[in-house]
């Protein structure tokens, strides 16, 4: 079967070649894990969001390029990329060579390596708004530091953030009602709706001289919901209001960073934040994050005591430098969105040929994808599970990611799997959806 979109042909196999995987070893290992690890696999890798969890692998054995293999030997084209860190592909040769060479000389030492300065110089040269850089390990490390700097710089307590926005797992980020979070943790956090400048104006008026910072992602990409781009002029008006009222503007570029614009997502949307947070794609899977900022906040940042036992590891910094150079060389944002557009527009057309609407929101490099026919979302969850169990790793609750290693062969195989599953669901449900 062939379908066309804007003159490009998307062909799929006329005969199903995909078979359903089984996960005997994963299930057995998970039962062992439950005895010694809280909930078996804690955090965002937990099986909890997968429906049904029996259709997903729980443990990986190895990875290469755009693929990973689970402990049962099943091979997957990976459209989660370890939830974002893998941007060039697993085990990228230049990145791994840089990390190994640095590791052979020294990694976790009593003093930082020269590589920290090299990386800071390169990062501030790459990101348009950056005058300085600070390195940590996780995205939540630097979003938390950004809030501390905002409070130190302004002498104020309150932070404004977007409802449904995700900035990490510190208590103030999670919100009251989550286990372990008390009312005092969020007493100075104010949430407003995305794309609603009026609400921000009202919050400023209701809290005169009390707001230290405004934090948000460059575009809204919550879990279990469509992604939303900023309205025309949104960021420009937010910038004006922050400047006018002495509020520190913080961008959480942890997920989007280097996937929209190599100079930072703020450049893509045409504004200048005071602080910007990076992690995910910065080192292609090696543990490092970064906070960059404007010169006016450099002295304050120096006064905030914030550190960790492994934050000065040199090998991840070498990996980050190699990753950033390669991202620049290949013009990663353009490439990733080109790959994503071909992949997802083809999938959309295949689904449409069976009467299913596949909605794609956000950037093609990290879109939120869902079948809209069933408002309960159960059909979409089943579609994702069936595709995963045939070798295309999809999730139904989170945005996906595209890495630079995704090949035309990967895309073709993914289209074939999508066609197989749509055919299966159509046969199963007929015109119900």
pLDDT digits (tens, 9 = 90+) for 36-79: 999 999 999 999 999 999 999 999 999 999 999 999 999 999 99
Residue 202 within a domain = yes
- 404 shares a domain with 267: no
160 phi/psi in degrees, rounded to 5: -105, 130
- 374: CATH: 3.90.1150.10
Among candidate residues 59, 53, 56, the one with its CA nearest the CA of residue 41 = 59
pTM: 0.94
* Average pLDDT of the residues in 117-140: 98
Range of the domain at 33: 2-78+333-429
Is 385 a member of any domain?
A: yes
Task: Give yes or no: residues 62 and 101 share one domain.
Answer: no
Place of tokens 């066309």: 4
Secondary-structure breakdown of the chain: helix, strand, coil percentages, each rounded to the nearest 5 = 40, 15, 40
Residue 313 and residue 398 share a domain: no
The answer on 124 and 252 residing in a single domain is yes
If one counts the domains in the chain, the total is 2
Contact 114, 251 (CB under 8 A): no
Q: Do 137 and 31 have their domain in common?
A: no
Averaged over 225-239, what is the pLDDT?
98
Residues 135, 170, single domain; the answer is yes
Give 428-432 contacts, CB < 8 A, sequence gap 24+.
Answer: 429/379, 431/355
Cis peptide before 52 (omega within 30 of 0): yes
Dump pLDDT digits (tens) for 81-112: 999 999 999 999 999 999 999 999 999 999 99
In this structure, what token pair is assigned to residue 201? 């104006």
Residue with tokens 């879109």: 367
Residue 15: the pLDDT is: 52
Q: Which residues pair with 176 in a beta bridge?
A: 178
Integer CA distances (angstroms), 6 to 9, 341, 349, 410, in order: 9, 12, 11, 21
Instruction: Provide the CA 210 distance to its chain's centre, in angstroms.
Output: 31
> Exposed (0-12), middle (13-18) or buried (19+): which is 407, by Cβ within 10 Å?
middle
How far is Cα 46 from Cα 59, in angstroms, rounded to an integer? Answer: 11
User: What pLDDT does residue 175 have?
Assistant: 87
DSSP-derived 3-state class of residue 393? strand
Half-sphere exposure of 319 (CA within 13 A, CB side): 28
Residue 312 scores a pLDDT above 90: yes
**Res. 19 pLDDT band, cuts 50 70 90:** confident
Q: What is the CATH number for 195?
A: 3.40.640.10
Distance between CA atoms of residues 84 and 285, nearest Å: 9
Q: Which of 330, 351, 368 is the last residue of a domain?
A: 330
Is residue 142 predicted with pLDDT exceeding 60? yes
pLDDT score recorded for residue 8: 45
At residue 1, the pLDDT reads 39
At 356-395, the pLDDT tens digits run 999 999 999 999 999 999 999 999 999 999 999 999 999 9
């Amino acid at each position: 079967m062939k379908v066309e979109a804007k003159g490009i042909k998307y062909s799929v196999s006329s005969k199903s070649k995909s078979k359903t995987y089984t996960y005997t070893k994963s299930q057995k290992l998970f039962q062992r894990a439950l005895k010694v690890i809280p909930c078996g696999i804690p955090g965002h890798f937990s099986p909890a969001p997968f429906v049904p969890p029996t259709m997903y692998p729980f443990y990986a054995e190895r990875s290469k390029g755009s693929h990973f293999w689970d402990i049962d030997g099943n091979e997957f084209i990976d459209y989660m990329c370890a939830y974002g860190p893998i941007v060039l592909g697993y085990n990228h040769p230049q990145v791994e060579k840089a990390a190994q060479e640095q590791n052979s000389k020294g990694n976790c030492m009593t003093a930082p390596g020269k590589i920290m300065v090299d990386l800071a110089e390169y990062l501030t040269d790459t990101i348009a708004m950056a005058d300085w850089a600070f390195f940590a390990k996780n995205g939540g490390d630097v979003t938390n530091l950004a809030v501390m700097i905002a409070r130190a710089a302004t002498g104020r307590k309150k932070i404004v953030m977007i409802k449904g926005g995700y900035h990490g797992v510190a208590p103030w980020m999670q919100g009251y009602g989550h286990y372990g979070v008390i009312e005092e943790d969020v007493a100075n956090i104010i949430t407003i709706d995305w794309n609603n400048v009026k609400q921000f104006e009202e919050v400023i008026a209701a809290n005169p001289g009390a707001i230290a910072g405004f934090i948000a992602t460059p575009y809204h990409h919550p879990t279990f919901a469509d992604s939303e781009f900023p309205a025309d002029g949104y960021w420009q008006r937010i910038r004006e209001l922050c400047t006018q009222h002495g509020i520190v503007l913080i961008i959480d570029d942890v997920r989007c960073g280097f996937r929209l614009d190599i100079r930072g997502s703020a450049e893509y949307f045409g504004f200048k934040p005071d602080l910007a947070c990076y992690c995910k794609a910065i080192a292609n899977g090696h543990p490092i994050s970064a906070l960059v900022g404007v010169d006016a906040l450099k002295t304050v940042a120096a006064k905030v005591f914030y550190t960790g036992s492994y934050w000065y590891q040199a090998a991840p910094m070498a990996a980050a430098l190699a990753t950033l150079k390669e991202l620049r060389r290949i013009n990663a944002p353009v490439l990733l969105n080109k790959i994503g557009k071909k992949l997802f527009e083809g999938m959309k057309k295949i689904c449409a040929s069976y009467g299913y609407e596949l909605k794609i929101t956000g950037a093609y490099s990290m879109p939120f994808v869902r079948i809209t026919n069933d408002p309960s979302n159960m059909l979409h969850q089943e579609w994702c599970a069936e595709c995963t169990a045939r070798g295309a790793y999809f999730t139904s609750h989170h945005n996906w990611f595209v890495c630079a290693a995704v090949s035309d062969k990967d895309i073709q195989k993914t289209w074939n799997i999508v066609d197989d599953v749509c055919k299966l669901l159509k046969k199963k449900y007929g015109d119900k959806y």
